[in-house]
């Protein structure tokens, strides 16, 4: 069994803070939106917790951003600019999750330090952390104090427009978190990916692929 | 009531008579001019009608004196002498105001007063002579707009101030305030408010009476614009800071929720959506003037629905300029005027977020769409409650939203689908894996090393 250190400490801190934060944001968001249907805590408490956790997640997002901007591991988030290559890779991954995995076929993607995301992960994580999460943070800040940011709220069409965008992304995140957790159980054991995200080391049956050298020779984080 | 008589026509009628009778009036006026210097000390000690007025009061002092008018009504001609001399007009004389009366030809042979109302309206120009500032304030009011619009019940000077018995500060006394004569229901509700109770409980109370919030003369329709909140904040300074200590987005609440919506806890609430043009002004019926709104008021109608409202706004903005469009400004308020005045002690004010921020909240079941009528008053047309929670509301009511209370049902459906989809993927995937193993389709890849499948209950992933 080979071990590959693919999740540095800052990334693990970011990930688990996000995990707890997302669950809290979803729960308090549900409470805020569905008073009467859900009555775990008061509306006011839910709003207060939602606001505080939101700011923690903003700080956490900045941690992620600073880490990757100062690390050569940002290559994990580099887009695959060859659409044919990306399409074929994605198709292989879809085939694997939809059929191959049931037959015991190997995962067509083998992670490396600089390529730890399979084509589907790469696409989805880029959409989430580079588009949806920033938009969610921005709309959340606007709704945190609508009057203070009224000029921007009005620019985008009003508070209901901002809220609708916030809720649509919230719904996407609810779906994402559920699928993300399930896909996390599809390692070589049910808990392998969870352990990997705790220790930083991914366990692999085979020798890790030869690392492509960083283009600028920069250090690894 | 008699026909409408506006202020200009009244003035045109009065001036010629004034000129033709100038000689007689000048003689009387000369006498009055001397009076203040000779008679004032005596009046101060023992008020009595001026000598020149004794002649007038000789007839007009008789109780029950009145005149039949052309419209079949009567004009009260009795002037109670005692009340007059004690009134703030006491230092004046009859001729100070009744400049058109020629003592040598009085009473006139021909009765040319059409109605008591037209006579009173014409006499407002006399009030204007001395009370110019107050008169101009009144001219800007909704009361004056109603008069100009021919409303026979709209108040003019003499409806609130009896010219022959006007007492200083009468309008600030609960038992004499004239507003209650027309706004009886509202005044009754006010008497139950903490404002009235404060005034009843202490003569030194500075709690407001009608004019404290609405002003005495420049009275505006409170349901337009921002309502009387400015008056509330005039006394309750720092109230925003107090609310910010416990109310999230307090400044936003202040903008879209009227004070009465929470501080009149027994009231029924509603959402009023006012059509605002690109310049920020409430739109008038003459700008819309379409049968859509009238149809919404039919008894069999549930009011304007979400799609109709969206289409209306699309039509209004079809030729609009970006950034200069017609919008709906929403406010949560109380349903009736009396409810707006039964303000309770702050300990009873609503502070439970659940009152509004939940599905089916009573506050969002009644919706009106407002325009400004020809007389300057708000005209509210009924709307279906779905204008607040339809997908169309994202565009048509984009500036008004209460979390939970006016949420869009389509988003709820999407959330349910997301949860079912996320859970379904996991359950479906596990089930498929089980079926593959159950029916022998699972052939673990050994990678050429001929190793057995990895231990654990999950599928092997290389």
Can you tell me the ipTM of this complex?
0.90
The predicted structure's pLDDT at residue B433: 92
Closest residue, chain A, to B251 (C-alpha): A147
Domain count for chain A: 1
The predicted structure's pLDDT at residue B36: 41
Residue count of chain B, please give it: 462
Q: How far away is chain B from the Cα of A32, in angstroms, using its nearest Cα?
A: 7
Nearest to A205 among B423, B442, B462 (CB): B462
Nearest to A102 among B419, B421, B441 (CB): B441
Q: How far away is chain A from the Cα of B349, in angstroms, using its nearest Cα?
A: 17
B426 neighbors B444 (Cβ within 8 angstroms):
no
Q: What is the mean pLDDT of chain B?
A: 81
Question: End-to-end distance of chain B based on CA atoms, in angstroms?
Answer: 97
Residue A220 domain-assigned (yes or no): no
Q: Is the pLDDT of residue A122 over 90?
A: no
Residue A59 domain-assigned (yes or no): yes
Average pLDDT over residues A72-95: 82
How many beta-carbon pairs under 8 angstroms link A with B?
A: 157
Mutation site for B-interface testing, chosen from A32, A94, A104, A195 by largest number of B Cβ within 10 Å: A104
Chain A residues whose beta carbon lies within 8 Å of the beta carbon of residue B395: 157
Closest residue, chain B, to A169 (C-alpha): B415
Mutation site for B-interface testing, chosen from A23, A42, A169, A171 by largest number of B Cβ within 10 Å: A171
Chain B residues whose beta carbon lies within 8 Å of the beta carbon of residue A45: none
Q: Tell me: the pLDDT tens digits for B322-365? A: 556 888 999 999 999 899 999 999 999 999 999 999 999 999 99
Q: Tell me: the pLDDT tens digits for B391-405? A: 999 999 999 999 999
pLDDT > 70: percent of chain B = 80
Q: Tell me: the pLDDT tens digits for B140-163? A: 998 998 898 888 899 999 999 988
Q: Is the pLDDT of residue B445 over 50?
A: yes
Q: What is the mean pLDDT of chain A?
A: 88
Q: Is B383 exposed, middle or buried (0-12, 13-18, 19+ CB in 10 A)?
A: buried
The predicted structure's pLDDT at residue B298: 62
Nearest to B422 among A105, A157, A174 (CB): A174
Contact A175 B399 (CB under 8 A): no
Contact A104 B397 (CB under 8 A): no
Closest residue, chain A, to B356 (C-alpha): A35
The predicted structure's pLDDT at residue B290: 62
Residue A213 domain-assigned (yes or no): no
- Alpha-carbon distances of B221 from A22, A189, B28, B229, rounded to whole Å: 48, 72, 44, 13
Contact A51 B357 (CB under 8 A): no
pLDDT band at B414 (very low <50, low <70, confident <90, very high): very high
Residue labelled with tokens 């995200």: A197
The predicted structure's pLDDT at residue B460: 38
Average pLDDT over residues B39-63: 69
Average pLDDT over residues B124-136: 93
The predicted structure's pLDDT at residue B296: 63
CATH number at A186 reads 1.20.950.20
Most confident of A63-67, A136-140, B150-154, B329-333: A136-140
For chain B, give every domain's residue range.
Answer: 7-168, 174-219, 226-407, 410-462
Strand-strand pairing, B367-372 and B269-276: parallel
Contact A168 B414 (CB under 8 A): yes
Residue A174 domain-assigned (yes or no): yes
Contact B394 A164 (CB under 8 A): yes
Residue A54 domain-assigned (yes or no): yes
Q: Is the pLDDT of residue B167 over 50?
A: yes
Q: Tell me: the pLDDT tens digits for B216-269? A: 999 887 766 556 677 888 899 889 999 999 999 999 999 999 999 999 999 999
User: From CA B462, how far away is CA A207, in angstroms rounded?
Assistant: 12
The predicted structure's pLDDT at residue A46: 96
The predicted structure's pLDDT at residue B334: 93
B266 neighbors B350 (Cβ within 8 angstroms):
no
pLDDT band at B41 (very low <50, low <70, confident <90, very high): very low
User: From CA B258, how far away is CA A130, in angstroms rounded?
Assistant: 41
Q: Is the pLDDT of residue A119 over 50?
A: yes
Closest residue, chain A, to B433 (C-alpha): A102
The predicted structure's pLDDT at residue A206: 64
Question: End-to-end distance of chain A based on CA atoms, in angstroms?
Answer: 24
Mutation site for A-interface testing, chosen from B257, B403, B405 by largest number of A Cβ within 10 Å: B403
CB contacts under 8 A, B 353-372 vs A, are: 353-354, 357-360
- Which among A16, A33, A36, A6 is positioned nearest to B415, based on CA atoms? A33
Residue A154 domain-assigned (yes or no): yes
Chain B residues whose beta carbon lies within 8 Å of the beta carbon of residue A145: 249, 251
Q: Tell me: the pLDDT tens digits for B174-205? A: 888 999 999 999 999 999 999 999 999 988 88
The predicted structure's pLDDT at residue B273: 93
Domain that holds residue A141: 2-204
The predicted structure's pLDDT at residue A164: 96
């Amino acid at each position: 069994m080979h071990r590959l250190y693919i999740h540095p400490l800052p990334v693990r801190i970011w990930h688990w803070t996000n995990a707890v934060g997302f669950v809290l944001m979803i729960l308090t968001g549900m409470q805020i939106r569905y008073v009467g249907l859900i009555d775990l805590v008061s509306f006011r408490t839910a709003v207060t917790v939602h606001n505080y956790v939101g700011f923690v997640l903003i700080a956490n997002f900045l941690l992620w951003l600073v880490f990757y901007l100062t690390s050569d591991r940002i290559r994990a988030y580099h887009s695959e600019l060859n659409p044919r290559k990306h399409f074929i890779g994605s198709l292989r991954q879809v085939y694997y999750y939809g059929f191959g995995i049931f037959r015991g076929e190997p995962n067509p993607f083998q992670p490396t330090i600089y390529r730890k995301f399979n084509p589907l992960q790469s696409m989805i994580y880029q959409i989430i952390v580079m588009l949806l999460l920033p938009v969610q943070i921005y709309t959340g800040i606007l709704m945190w104090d609508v009057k203070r940011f009224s000029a921007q709220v009005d620019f985008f069409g009003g508070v209901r427009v901002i809220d609708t965008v916030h809720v649509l992304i919230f719904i996407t995140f609810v779906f994402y978190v559920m699928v993300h957790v399930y896909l996390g159980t599809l390692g070589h054991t049910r808990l392998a990916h969870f352990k990997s995200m705790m220790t930083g080391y991914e366990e692999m049956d085979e020798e890790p692929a030869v690392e492509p050298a960083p283009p600028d020779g920069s250090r690894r984080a | 009531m008699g026909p409408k008589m506006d202020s200009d026509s009244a003035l045109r009628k009065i001036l010629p008579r004034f000129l033709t009778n100038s000689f007689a009036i000048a003689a009387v006026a000369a006498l009055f001019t001397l009076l203040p210097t000779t008679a004032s000390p005596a009046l101060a000690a023992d008020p009595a009608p001026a000598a020149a007025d004794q002649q007038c009061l000789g007839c007009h002092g008789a109780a029950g004196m009145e005149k039949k008018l052309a419209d079949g009504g009567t004009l009260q001609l009795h002037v109670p002498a005692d009340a007059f001399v004690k009134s703030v007009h006491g230092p004046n004389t009859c001729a100070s105001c009744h400049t058109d009366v020629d003592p040598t030809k009085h009473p006139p042979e021909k009765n040319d007063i059409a109605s008591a109302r037209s006579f009173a309206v014409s006499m407002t120009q006399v009030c204007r002579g001395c009370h110019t500032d107050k008169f101009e304030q009144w001219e800007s009011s909704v009361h004056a707009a109603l008069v100009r619009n021919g409303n026979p019940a709209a108040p003019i000077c003499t409806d609130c101030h009896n010219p022959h018995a006007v007492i200083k500060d009468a309008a600030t006394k609960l038992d004499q305030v004239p507003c209650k004569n027309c706004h009886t229901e509202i005044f009754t509700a006010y008497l139950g408010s903490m404002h009235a109770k404060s005034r009843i409980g202490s003569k030194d109370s500075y709690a407001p009476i009608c004019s404290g919030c609405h002003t005495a003369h420049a009275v505006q329709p409170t349901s337009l614009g921002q309502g009387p909140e400015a008056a509330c904040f005039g006394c309750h300074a720092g109230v925003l800071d107090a609310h910010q200590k416990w109310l999230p987005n307090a400044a936003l609440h202040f903008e879209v929720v009227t004070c009465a919506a929470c501080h009149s806890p027994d009231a029924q609430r509603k959402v009023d959506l006012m059509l605002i043009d690109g310049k920020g002004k409430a739109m008038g019926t003459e700008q819309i003037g379409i049968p859509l709104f009238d149809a919404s008021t039919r008894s069999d109608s549930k009011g304007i629905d979400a799609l109709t409202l969206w289409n209306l706004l699309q039509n209004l903005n079809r030729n609009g300029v970006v950034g200069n469009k017609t919008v709906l400004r929403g406010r949560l308020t109380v349903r009736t005027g009396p409810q707006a005045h039964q303000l309770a002690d702050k300990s009873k004010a609503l502070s439970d977020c659940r009152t509004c921020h939940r599905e089916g909240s009573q506050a969002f079941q009644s919706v009106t769409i407002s325009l400004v009528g020809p007389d300057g008053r708000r005209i509210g047309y009924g709307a279906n409650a779905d204008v607040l929670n339809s997908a169309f509301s994202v565009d048509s009511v984009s500036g008004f939203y209460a979390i939970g209370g006016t949420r869009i049902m389509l988003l709820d459906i999407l959330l349910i689908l997301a949860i079912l989809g996320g859970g379904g993927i996991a359950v479906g995937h596990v089930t498929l894996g089980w079926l593959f193993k159950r029916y022998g389709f699972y052939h673990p890849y050994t990678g050429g090393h001929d190793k057995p499948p990895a231990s654990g209950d999950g599928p092997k992933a290389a």
